[in-house]
């Protein structure tokens, strides 16, 4: 796993991006062929494998636990981008780290001691992320920016795949990009991402796109992934998240 660099100047530079990485969400994969699906998106050129962990409490759905993550870990060397939609998250961080997570993202809304959880994740040798629901303002992460490797903006209400993109979140993405400035923090967006909405979030400042239905509903994973990832020149190094 790439070593986490020290954070640099916070001078805003919202238009400069270092390329776009794609993280297909296996929430939309065929669960009966999960290992095969992971191998397929790896071969198709994905950058991360996005794993949505839901507890039926913080969000109204149940999905993957550590045993599933451990079972599919052997099918790819690509970083596992594990999004914990669970409350509480802190007691389970070590389990997900041991199961094979490379990036562990917790929700600001589900973590009373967010700073502590981010320290725990880093202490486990993993990259630390925080996620914000659509109704949560970006100001809640202002004082933990230097603990972060990734910020995940939800552009749907979490819990289910296949929902429609919420365009009102674009301004939040812009504001977070300005907050990040030149820090090497990845700005990830999840929810309703497809060939139509990807350019909007990229223009707003996103550099990691989570796509579930858009990737897995078709037969040509590579074509979909390539269509979501334009080539963007940049003078700023990319955030060093797990790659």
φ, ψ of residue 211 to 5 degrees: the values are -135, 125
What is the DSSP track for 180-234?
Answer: HTTS--EEEEESS-STTTHHHHHHHT--EEEESHHHHTSS-HHHHHHHH------
Q: Tokens standing for 118? A: 């981010």
- Asked if residue 18 lies in contact with residue 238, where contact means CB atoms within 8 angstroms, the answer is yes
The radius of gyration of the chain from alpha carbons, rounded to an integer in Å, stands at 16
pLDDT in tens, 219-239: 999 999 999 987 443 434 455
Picking from 143, 156, 181, 210, the residue whose alpha carbon sits closest to that of residue 11 is 181
pTM: predicted TM-score of the whole model, two decimal places: 0.88
Say which CATH topology domain 21-228 has.
Answer: TIM Barrel (3.20.20)
Rounded distance, CA 192 to CA 156, Å? 7
pLDDT (average), residues 196-213: 96
Query: Using one digit for the tens of pLDDT, what is the confidence trace for 27-63?
Result: 999 999 999 999 999 999 999 999 999 999 999 999 9
CA atoms of 115 and 105, how far apart (whole Å): 12
pLDDT band at 240 (very low <50, low <70, confident <90, very high): low
Active site residues: 52, 190
Contact 48/215 with Cβ under 8 angstroms?
no
Q: Which of 49, 13, 15 is nearest to 34 (CA)?
A: 49
């Amino acid at each position: 796993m790439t070593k986490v660099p020290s954070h640099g100047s916070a001078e805003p530079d919202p238009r400069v991006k270092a390329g776009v990485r794609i993280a297909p969400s296996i929430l939309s994969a065929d669960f009966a062929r999960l290992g095969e699906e992971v191998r397929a998106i790896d071969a198709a050129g994905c950058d991360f494998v996005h794993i949505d962990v839901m507890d039926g409490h913080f969000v109204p759905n149940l999905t993957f636990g550590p045993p599933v993550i451990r079972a599919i870990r052997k099918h790819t060397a690509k970083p596992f981008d594990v999004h914990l939609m669970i409350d509480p998250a802190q007691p389970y961080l070590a389990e997900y780290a041991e199961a094979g997570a490379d990036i562990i993202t917790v929700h600001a809304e589900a973590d009373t001691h967010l700073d502590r959880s981010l320290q725990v994740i880093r202490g486990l040798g993993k990259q630390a992320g925080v996620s914000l629901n659509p109704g949560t303002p970006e100001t809640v992460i202002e004082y933990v920016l230097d603990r972060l490797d990734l910020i995940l903006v939800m552009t749907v209400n979490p819990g289910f795949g296949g929902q429609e993109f919420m365009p009102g979140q674009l301004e939040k993405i812009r504001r977070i990009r300005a907050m990040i400035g030149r820090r090497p923090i990845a700005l990830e967006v999840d929810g309703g991402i497809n060939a139509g909405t990807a350019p909007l979030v990229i223009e707003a400042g996103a550099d990691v796109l989570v796509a579930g239905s858009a990737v897995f509903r078709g037969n040509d994973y590579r074509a979909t992934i390539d269509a979501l990832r334009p080539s963007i020149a940049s003078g700023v190094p990319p955030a060093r998240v797990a790659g």
